[in-house]
């Protein structure tokens, strides 16, 4: 077992892969990540599936097999994706059991085209959850204003949810309250209160967004500052009386997940967002390249502070440069949804073209 990745695990950080492909499953590469690099979960999104399905020929035989008139292009995609998610979930099942259902999850996302449609998001989440039929599968729902009520309803239905596209402490708080209210609804109905959830904060896109405005002394610091601010909100959530009350009903509270942690600045450390986001009871999802970099020369930084003093100072310095924190958070969420929409459309078009060719 790699000692660098094990050190992260020893700090209370779960390390998840931000990637999936059928080739990874067929070649047993995922098993190697689990056994050698302490990987305890996996996430997917439209961009990942666009690369693995739309931009390779590895799925062509499966597309030909599923190429039936009754399946439209979107339905065929979900058939392919669900097969992969089920296999990955089965690979992580020993982790799921070893951690009493806390870890060992894989994630599949509802169509990003539904990001601003509450009811359709909920119905899609219920359908995908039913088809995947694995205890360790998260349904990813965006934390947009329209997605938040769908998150609450899905949790109340007993569907494990990975809240995606969060970019600020305030967006995180809205998602955590939706989760909490969903659990409280289950308690009132006398249902099992332990429905797992994670809330995914996107980090590196902050630094990418301000790279042209940032002076040298502030480069690649805004994303970590926002993460620190969100982590403090997370600590307040965990120690709140409402959360402690639901824990008394057998709930493992929603965890905070660091997403978009691959370094985008070629001049910065390739493990920047791994070594600086050390906090117990959190998850870090990383792409293959970042995982290999950390396994090779990883180091553990200091744990995130339990206050926002340093984070607020950096956010204030950016405000002095006319970077509005709240406004940029909203913009990044919209741009994130649009980027997933673009990947989704590319993916569906690729499947349509492959069906015609095959």
Domain ranges (residues) in the chain = 3-357
Give every CB contact of residue 66 below 8 A, 6+ residues apart in sequence: 76, 79, 80
What are the residue numbers of the active site?
140
Strands 13-17 vs 39-42: parallel, antiparallel or unpaired: parallel
Number of helical (H) and strand (E) elements in the chain, helices listed first? 17, 8
Write down the pLDDT at residue 301: 84
Q: Which residues of the chain have a pLDDT value below 70? A: none
What is the model's pLDDT at position 55? 86
Q: What is the pLDDT of residue 46?
A: 87
Q: Distances in Å between the alpha carbon of 11 and those of 29, 131, 278, 282?
A: 25, 35, 7, 10
First to last CA, the chain: 43
Structure tokens at 36: 């050698």
Specify the pTM: 0.96
pLDDT given at position 113: 94
Looking at residue 261, its pLDDT comes to 97
User: What is the CATH architecture of 3-357?
Assistant: Alpha-Beta Barrel (3.20)
64 CB neighbour count, 10 Å cutoff: 12
pLDDT of residue 182: 98
Q: How far apart are CA 47 and CA 28, in angstroms?
A: 22
Lookup: tokens for 225? 């500052």
b/e per residue, 131-146, with b = 16+ CB within 10 A? bbebebbbbbbbbbeb
Q: What is the pLDDT of residues 51-85, one digit of tens each?
A: 888 888 899 999 999 999 899 999 999 999 999 99
């Amino acid at each position: 077992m790699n000692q660098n990745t094990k050190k992260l695990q020893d700090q209370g950080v779960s390390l998840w892969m931000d990637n999936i492909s059928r080739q990874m499953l067929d070649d047993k590469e995922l098993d190697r990540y689990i056994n050698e690099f302490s990987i305890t979960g996996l996430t997917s999104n439209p961009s990942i599936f666009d690369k693995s399905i739309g931009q390779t020929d590895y799925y062509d035989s499966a597309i030909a097999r599923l190429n039936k008139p009754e399946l439209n292009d979107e339905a065929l995609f979900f058939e392919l994706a669900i097969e992969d998610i089920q296999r990955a979930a089965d690979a992580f099942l020993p982790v799921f059991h070893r951690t009493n259902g806390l870890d060992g999850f894989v994630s599949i996302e509802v169509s990003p085209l539904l990001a601003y449609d509450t009811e359709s998001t909920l119905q899609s989440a219920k359908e995908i959850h039913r088809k995947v039929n694995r205890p360790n599968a998260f349904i990813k729902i965006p934390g947009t204003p329209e997605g938040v009520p769908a998150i609450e309803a899905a949790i109340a239905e007993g569907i494990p949810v990975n809240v995606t596209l969060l970019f600020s402490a305030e967006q995180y708080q809205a998602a955590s309250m939706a989760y909490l209210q969903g659990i409280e609804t289950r308690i009132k109905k006398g249902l099992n209160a332990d429905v797992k959830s994670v809330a995914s904060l996107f980090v590196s896109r902050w630094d990418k967004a301000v790279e042209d405005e940032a002076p040298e002394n502030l480069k690649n610091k805004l994303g970590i500052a926002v993460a620190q601010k969100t982590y403090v909100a997370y600590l307040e959530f965990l120690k709140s009386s409402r959360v402690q009350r639901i824990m008394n009903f057998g709930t493992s509270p929603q965890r905070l997940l660091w997403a978009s942690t691959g370094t985008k600045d070629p001049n910065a450390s390739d493990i920047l967002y791994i070594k600086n986001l050390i906090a117990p009871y959190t998850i870090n999802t990383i792409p293959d390249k970042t995982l290999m970099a950390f396994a090779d020369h990883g180091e553990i930084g200091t744990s995130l502070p339990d206050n926002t003093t340093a984070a607020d100072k950096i956010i204030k310095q950016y405000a002095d440069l006319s970077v509005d924190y709240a406004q940029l958070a909203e913009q990044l969420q919209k741009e994130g949804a649009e980027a997933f929409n673009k990947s989704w459309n590319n993916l569906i078009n690729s499947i349509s073209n492959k069906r015609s060719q095959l």
